[in-house]
Structure 1
Amino acid sequence: MSKKRRIISLLTMILTLFTLSVNGQATSAYIDKSKVDNGVINVNYNSSKSVAVRVSKGNTNYDYILNGNNTIPLQSGDGDYIISILENVEGKKFKQIAKETVTLKALNPNEVYLQSIQMINWNNEMNAIKKAKELTKNAKNDKEKATAIYNYIVNTISYDNDKASRTSSNYIPNIDSTLKAQKGICYDYASLTASMLRSVNVPTKLIMGYKNDIKEYHAWNQVYLQDTNEWITIDTTYDAGLKNGNTKVTMIKDIKEYKIEKQY
């Protein structure tokens, strides 16, 4: 949870679009659809300028700035997605470089929540992922995996008030940096939680929006438990704060206490 400012990230970015031709370039050259059955695409467009990607399905839009891991999720269910690649002109103004419709027919609707994506960036060589496998090696089911990782994060990671006051709008978490520093903002907590759980085959969403007793923009997680076929809400940031105050916490939260604006 942010103390002095909201974690706006790219979620509220307003892109002013200038419709230009693609100059003969095939849009498909920029969009790798080899993993679309898993609910993700990869965007490859190199430029000295800032490049954004807008993913639209119906009335829902998600905006991303290309930065390192350019794997982008298609998390709004099966159907047609319009992928627009945009290059910065000045300020928050972008021109359209390419546009393509991608059709998703997922083999498993939860598969997208197991992938490494831009804001939940992980691989098996990362220390955080090695730690997740260590923590869950004796777990008998998904709930035990979730509990082990939840307990570790809540008891190990502290909230970083200074970082909350100076984080830029295009900040992307690095889970190994969070693990090493043992502190972070709500975005860091939620990204670390999602990465660790995804790495041990537990579908996990990173959610952004509001909690009923927090004024600032917030990030938390929803976790799918295959054994009971349910999504549960967990909030490692919130509970880490309560733990520091010696307040009793419970892992599973009431979804009615949260207002979801975006999910990844």
Structure 2
Amino acid sequence: MIDSNSVQEYYIPIKNGQFSDKIHFYNGEGKYSVHVMLPATDRENYYYDLSTFEVVNVNPIKQRDLTYTPFAQEAQLTLDTIKSGFMSGKELITVGGTIKEQTSSKNIMIEVKKDSNQWKHEISIKNGKFSYEVPLFYGKGIHQINVLVPDQQRENYYQYGTTLFVDNQSDRTMKPIEYYRTYEERGITLNTPQFGGDQAKLTYHIKGQIDPNAKFAKETTHIYVKTKKGNDEALDIIPVKHFNFDDSIYLRFGPGEYEVSINVPEIKEEKSNYFRYFSVASFSVENMANEDKRDLLPSRGIPSDDPKIINLAKKITKDKKNNFDKAKAIYKYTAKTISYDVAKFKNNEFEWDDNALKTLKLKTGVCQDYAYLAGALLRASNIEARVITGKAGTGLLKENHAWIEAKINGKWLTMDPTWGAGFVQNDKFVAKYTDKYFQPNMNEFNKTHLRDKVEY
């Protein structure tokens, strides 16, 4: 229970020189000292003793009132979801209510404390209302939750509005999500997850929305989700539709702890083959799935689970008896079907939604698009495949390039369907299929291709 020596403060409005309120003795039966204090006229936020008396409570019921500070009363703060200043909970507690909308701030602040631990987070106010599932991060026991309201005199400053205590019945400890300045600047609200240190099996759900009135809200068509486990990294893309995003990502690198960051794209007029983004939130999650299927699972640009890709892969490989022949058939299909898009390369006309399906539809693309399509068809055929990025060219100056490695009979086989499709002459693509770049002589291949890394 809350310490018996703790203090419960009531701020009672004075109307026409009178004040009245009904209070409960928050710690059950026992002796209480009651101090009545009046606000000072010569000092701001200071009170002088008016009267002191003692009361012996004989009622064993413990009931802690929910009280509001003068700042909360001025802001017309009301917690609709909370009926008592002390309650029991399990892992999460909903804190929601209404407040007078401030011109200086569109947020309130939630503060969670237990022992020496502390966490703060700003909550958006919409049409005078707010609601948030507050995590009880620090395991079993009493959590103090403070609701702070915007200071009407100082920008980006908050005053304590009300305090409640929650006795968490769960032993589970959770890790706070770290929010960055861009979270508020870009109007992001992350609904799922609500805390870090969660556990999942292979997939993890990301859900949230963007304030339509926030900076670049209309231009933010997608978010990036970066997952990192040790030295392995993956970048996933979740579309934003009607200012909402809701999708799952793969924890593709096997069991263990992942660092996950939610990011918004840089909004710029010119197109580029490099996508810059800014972090809005980060947290950790533990993958409990035992298998590492990083090179079989769908990934950014490689929707290998799409029915169109699966059906096409079956059609291409239907007469092939082994994975080597299947891989070669996929290489040949990709190289002969897709024409090289010289303009896209020269003008950096890369888009965030470039992927194998888009390449199939357009029947044209650059090295990235050839690799996406071949990789998707390989994975759809249950052949492990990975996109390799690096540099390539016949001269001293080499350009950014991407190709594929496929695992055949336990060994990684190299293929470059872009170079197998033909060549560029006088800024025009010349289609000339060759199988030279399917399982090439690696001594020769390494003279023209400089391998950098695997990209997910």
Task: Select the structure that is richer in strand.
Answer: 2
Q: Between Structure 1 and Structure 2, whose CA radius of gyration is higher? A: 2
Quick one: distance in 1 between partners of 2:267 and 2:354? 25
Q: Displacement of 1:61 after TM fit?
A: 4.7
- Structure 1 portions without partners, runs of 5+: 1-16
- Structure 2 portions without partners, runs of 5+: 1-179, 241-245, 269-275, 424-429
Per-residue displacement from partner, 1:89-127 (whole Å, max 9, x unpaired)?
9776735334123336532x3x2222222321244431x
Quick one: distance in 1 between partners of 2:350 and 2:227? 19
Quick one: distance in 1 between partners of 2:380 and 2:439? 20
For the pair 1:97 / 2:281, whether they are aligned, the reply is yes
Q: Displacement of 1:260 after TM fit?
A: 2.3
Q: TM-score, normalised by structure 1?
A: 0.72
Q: SS of the residue aligned with 1:55?
A: strand
State the partner residue of 1:12: none
Q: Displacement of 1:237 after TM fit?
A: 0.7
Change (3 A) 1:41 1:168: farther
For the pair 1:166 / 2:358, whether they are aligned, the reply is no
Quick one: distance in 1 between partners of 2:411 and 2:183? 45
Q: SS of the residue aligned with 1:129?
A: helix
Quick one: distance in 2 between partners of 1:260 and 1:19? 31
Change (3 A) 1:237 1:117: same
Paired residues for 1:109-124 under 5 Å: 109=292, 111-124=293-306
For the pair 1:43 / 2:206, whether they are aligned, the reply is yes
Aligned partner of 1:27 among 179, 188, 193? 193
Residues 344 and 350 of structure 2 are in contact (CA less than 8 Å); yes or no, is this contact kept in structure 1?
no
Q: Displacement of 1:63 after TM fit?
A: 4.4
Q: TM-score, normalised by structure 2?
A: 0.45
Of 213-222 and 24-33, the range deviating more from structure 2: 24-33
Quick one: distance in 1 between partners of 2:205 and 2:254? 18
Paired residues for 1:1-264 under 5 Å: 18=181, 27=193, 35-36=201-202, 41-47=204-210, 49=217, 50=220, 51-58=223-230, 61-67=233-239, 72-76=249-253, 78-87=255-264, 94-103=278-287, 105-107=289-291, 109=292, 111-126=293-308, 128-168=309-349, 170-211=351-392, 213=394, 215-225=398-408, 228-241=409-422, 244-245=431-432, 249-253=436-440, 254=442, 256=446, 257-264=449-456
Aligned length: 240
Provide the alpha-carbon RMSD of the alignment: 3.7
Change (3 A) 1:245 1:263: same
Residues 30 and 45 of structure 1 are in contact (CA less than 8 Å); yes or no, is this contact kept in structure 2?
no
Of 214-223 and 64-73, the range deviating more from structure 2: 64-73
Q: Displacement of 1:244 after TM fit?
A: 3.0
Q: Displacement of 1:66 after TM fit?
A: 2.7
State the partner residue of 2:90: none
